[in-house]
Amino acid sequence: MDPAPPFISKRALGDLLQRLRGEAAMSVAEAASELDVDRDTVRRWETGAHVPKKSALEHLGRLYGASADEVRHLVKLSRDSKRPGLWEGADVPQQMRQLYESEPAAESIQTLELALIPGLLQTPEYHLASQEVELVLPPERAGSARRVRERRQSEVFGLESPPKMTFIMAAAALQNLSNHPGVGPGQVARLREVNAMERAEVLVLHGCLHAGMVGSFTIVHPPEGLARPFVYVESVDGGRYVEDRDVVFSYTRTFDLVRASAIPLEEYLT
At 236 the pLDDT is: 75
Q: Is residue 109 located within the same domain as residue 75?
A: no
| Percent of the chain topping pLDDT 90 | 71
Question: What are the φ and ψ backbone dihedral angles of 159, each rounded to 5 degrees?
Answer: -70, 145
At 163 the pLDDT is: 97
> Which residue range forms the structural domain that includes residue 184?
94-269
Q: Is residue 235 located within the same domain as residue 129?
A: yes
Local confidence band at 207 (pLDDT 50, 70, 90 cut-offs): confident
Residue 10 inside a domain? The answer is yes
The CATH number given to whatever domain includes residue 176 is 3.30.870
Report how far apart, in Å, the C-alpha atoms of 195 and of each of 111, 112, 190, 240, 261 are. 14, 15, 8, 28, 18
Q: Is residue 112 located within the same domain as residue 55?
A: no
Q: Is residue 119 located within the same domain as residue 76?
A: no
Q: Is residue 150 located within the same domain as residue 246?
A: yes
Q: Is residue 120 located within the same domain as residue 185?
A: yes
At 87 the pLDDT is: 82
pLDDT at 111 over 90: yes
Domain closes at, from 81, 105, 140: 81
Local confidence band at 2 (pLDDT 50, 70, 90 cut-offs): low
pLDDT at 68 over 70: yes
CB neighbour list of residue 19: distance below 8 Å, 6 or more residues apart = none
At 208 the pLDDT is: 74
pLDDT at 136 over 80: no
Q: Is residue 167 located within the same domain as residue 118?
A: yes
**Residue 64 C-beta-side C-alpha neighbours within 13 Å:** 25
Task: Express each pLDDT in 140-175 by its tens digit.
Answer: 788 888 999 999 999 999 999 999 999 999 999 999
- Asked if residues 220 and 109 have their Cβ atoms less than 8 Å apart, the reply is yes
3-class DSSP state of 183: coil
Residue 247 inside a domain? The answer is yes
The CATH number given to whatever domain includes residue 35 is 1.10.260.40
| Percent of the chain topping pLDDT 70 | 99
Number of structural domains in the chain: 2
What's the whole-number mean pLDDT along residues 169-189? 94
Looking at per-residue confidence, does 3 or 131 come out higher?
131
Q: Is residue 122 located within the same domain as residue 220?
A: yes
What's the whole-number mean pLDDT along residues 227-237? 88
Residue 63 inside a domain? The answer is yes
Q: Are strands 108-113 and 230-233 parallel, antiparallel or unpaired?
A: unpaired
pLDDT at 234 over 70: yes
Local confidence band at 210 (pLDDT 50, 70, 90 cut-offs): confident
At 212 the pLDDT is: 78
Local confidence band at 133 (pLDDT 50, 70, 90 cut-offs): confident
At 134 the pLDDT is: 79
Domain closes at, from 48, 81, 114: 81
Residue 41 inside a domain? The answer is yes
At 62 the pLDDT is: 95
Domain closes at, from 24, 49, 81: 81
Q: Is residue 64 located within the same domain as residue 119?
A: no
> Mean of the per-residue pLDDT values for the chain?
91
Residue 238 inside a domain? The answer is yes
pLDDT at 100 over 60: yes
Residue 36 inside a domain? The answer is yes
What's the whole-number mean pLDDT along residues 262-266? 97
Residue 31 inside a domain? The answer is yes
What's the whole-number mean pLDDT along residues 99-115? 95
Residue 102 inside a domain? The answer is yes
Q: Is residue 31 located within the same domain as residue 75?
A: yes
What's the whole-number mean pLDDT along residues 227-241? 87
What's the whole-number mean pLDDT along residues 97-106? 92
Q: Is residue 136 located within the same domain as residue 214?
A: yes
Q: Is residue 179 located within the same domain as residue 260?
A: yes
Q: What is the CA angle 244-247-250, rounded to 5? A: 150
What's the whole-number mean pLDDT along residues 218-226? 90
